Structure 1
Amino acid sequence: MSRLKSTQTFKIQFLCPKYWGIWLGFLLLRLISFLPRRLKFFTGKKIGQLLYYIAPSRKSLARKNLQLSFPEKNKNQIENILKEHFESLGISLIETTINLWGSHRHPQKKPIKMPFFTFHGLENLQQYPSQGLLLVVPHFTTIETTGLMLSHIMPFRPIYRKHDNPLMEYLITKSRTLVLDSGQSVAPLANSDTRAMIRALKDHENIMILPDQRYRAKGNIKVPFFGVDAPSNPGICKLAKLGNAKVLPVFTKRNGQHYEMTILPGLDNFPSGDDYSDILRLHQLYEAEIKTNPAQYLWTHNRWNLKKGRDF
């Protein structure tokens, strides 16, 4: 497996004043990483509660998304989910510190333990030894931990969107380059490099892909998500076909400080040749999981294009 080089090379320009704000935030995360686990999560929850009050535009967007997705819920129910969601966002920052500086980064120094992880459906990963796997992970706030959990049980390549800011690109790819139990580093793949993804799948590598966000580029299709048409990317159908890959949905739920991952069986007849039906099928799986765990889905993303502006 190849490594990302250019995006993980520190550049002296990153020390310029225009990057100092990013470094300050990075320093705060580093300081938090030294806290005991229980205190880390407490801090993350408080950060999320602060975000609830200082990010009104994102709070408004998340509220609209929740109201659209759960029209049967009353105002108080929506507001309770919204508050829990922002707490979950804060905790996701803590999960980033664990990914960046956890013991898995130095497996040769300290054996990696998994007392906070529970896995369901591991047997589904063993059913397709002659195919690459497309592990479909919707945008829950547990994304960072999902990657970490998968790194304990299998080699895989996470897909990511390149950041416009070069320092953020450096930090994100550094975070998402995972160290397996064997000590091997596995680098992410840019979502713009379709050829590399297909090549990896044909080589029987596994890919973690997050295809559920709004997609407005050429080739998008509108597919209902919670009953409302959403601009969607049918690219996963092409990947599965050209890479001869099996598609397995993966969901991770945070329960306090414990995480529970469920790996569903590989989807039969996917792709079917009908992109609309295939994406609708995935959306229905996402919806079923979100309904059991609504606060941890990423509602601050403008999934339905409800207003103009950049994504969170």
Structure 2
Amino acid sequence: MKPADADNLLHPSLIPVWLGVGLLWLLHWLPLPLQAAIGNALGWLLALLPGKRRHIAATNLALCFPEASTRTRRRWLRQTFQASIRAVLEHGVLWWGSEARLRRLIQIDNPEAARGDGVRPVIWLAPHFVGFIMGGMRLSVDQTVANLYARARNPVSNKIMLRGRARFSSPVLIEKSDGIKPVLKALKDGLPLHYSPDQDQGRLNAVFVPFFGIPAATVSALPRLAKLTNAQIIPVITRQLPWGRGYRVCFYPPWDNFPGDNLEADVARMNAFIEERIREMPAQYLWLHRRFKTRPAGEPSLYE
């Protein structure tokens, strides 16, 4: 699609996207266990087909779990596709489901932990597990939340995503390209920030710290924001439950002594926490992303 057509929602090139949106709208009327069964079947099929995303996921699993058997990693690869496709299809519930249905399908284990000490600003560290958007949407039902987001490549997906996220409590949606000022304002205004800084976004504002023992370019904004705003870091993990039983959101205790005196050590601490959660449910992390795309100077690509 040409740049001139970027805001034309009726451009012919977007017809397949609109068809996909229509499919999600139809699926959202189905019971979640049936949606899950469809997602599992499609994920199983896609995991069998060779392709770029399958190669990326298989490479990530091999790099991060060299001690696991080939059979185990293949099982995790299949389950990764199943969990990811499930989450995509179940987004229809987020965009069009009722508030009552979201409350029923996405449970919060310990909502009282969400605001920490209730005095300082709060940053919710929400790593990229397959259910992280589900958790973020559920939390926005109960309160106004600030969310950082990346603009989608096509205007239809972007419109649907923004409309869906804004259905409850009028959240503050901050595009990543807007810079730090709206983030600081949201925290100053007392809004919790739902933040996911665990993807490879290149060298800008990144440090190389271990992730499963491999140097990984990791965004360093979490300790920087905590230092600038005196914010508490409260991790929040959303788990996808089997058999279409929905999702479960769990808050962890606020981090003590964060940030410390060493930026790289703070970022490494974040990665270590995420590693621990991944080991609890290896198939639910976003392995389809090239987590090790950016390499230290002179190192070859790990995906070729």
| TM-score, with structure 2 as normaliser | 0.88
- The aligned amino acid for 1:14 is L
Q: Deviations over 1:101-160 (max 9, x none)?
A: 1102xxxxxx56734444334332243222221000110011221113322443312211
Contact (CA 8 Å) 2:147, 2:174: kept in 1 or not?
Answer: yes
Runs of 4+ in 1 over 4 A off after TM superposition: 306-309
- The aligned amino acid for 2:173 is P
SS at match of 2:66: coil
What displacement does 1:164 show? 3.2
- The aligned amino acid for 2:91 is T
| 1:245 equivalent in alignment to 2:231 | yes
What displacement does 1:98 show? 0.9
| 1:86 equivalent in alignment to 2:81 | yes
- Could you say which residue in structure 2 is the equivalent of 1:186? 171
What displacement does 1:37 show? 2.3
- Could you say which residue in structure 1 is the equivalent of 2:22? 27
Equivalent residues in 2 for 1:1-150, closer than 5 Å: 13-54=8-49, 56-104=51-99, 111=100, 114-150=103-139
- The aligned amino acid for 2:47 is Y
- Could you say which residue in structure 1 is the equivalent of 2:297? none
Work out the CA distance in 1 between the residues paired with 2:212 and 2:41: 30
Contact (CA 8 Å) 1:131, 1:201: kept in 2 or not?
Answer: no
Work out the CA distance in 2 between the residues paired with 1:168 and 1:133: 29
| Alignment CA distance shift 1:79-1:102 (3 Å) | same
| 1:159 equivalent in alignment to 2:159 | no
| TM-score, with structure 1 as normaliser | 0.86
- Could you say which residue in structure 1 is the equivalent of 2:255? 267
What displacement does 1:61 show? 0.9
- The aligned amino acid for 2:144 is P
Between the two proteins, the alignment pairs up a number of residues equal to 289
SS at match of 1:273: coil
- The aligned amino acid for 1:286 is I
Work out the CA distance in 2 between the residues paired with 1:161 and 1:286: 21
| Alignment CA distance shift 1:115-1:21 (3 Å) | closer
- Could you say which residue in structure 1 is the equivalent of 2:267? 279
Work out the CA distance in 1 between the residues paired with 2:85 and 2:9: 26
Equivalent residue in structure 2 for 1:207, among 185, 189, 193 = 193
Work out the CA distance in 2 between the residues paired with 1:270 and 1:12: 42
Contact (CA 8 Å) 2:80, 2:283: kept in 1 or not?
Answer: yes
| Alignment CA distance shift 1:178-1:283 (3 Å) | farther
- Could you say which residue in structure 2 is the equivalent of 1:108? none
Work out the CA distance in 2 between the residues paired with 1:308 and 1:207: 33
Q: Percent identity?
A: 29
Work out the CA distance in 2 between the residues paired with 1:78 and 1:12: 42
Q: Deviations over 1:157-193 (max 9, x none)?
A: 22111223233222222232241xxxx3214211223
Equivalent residue in structure 2 for 1:225, among 203, 206, 211 = 211
Contact (CA 8 Å) 1:221, 1:234: kept in 2 or not?
Answer: yes
SS at match of 1:192: helix
Work out the CA distance in 2 between the residues paired with 1:125 and 1:66: 32
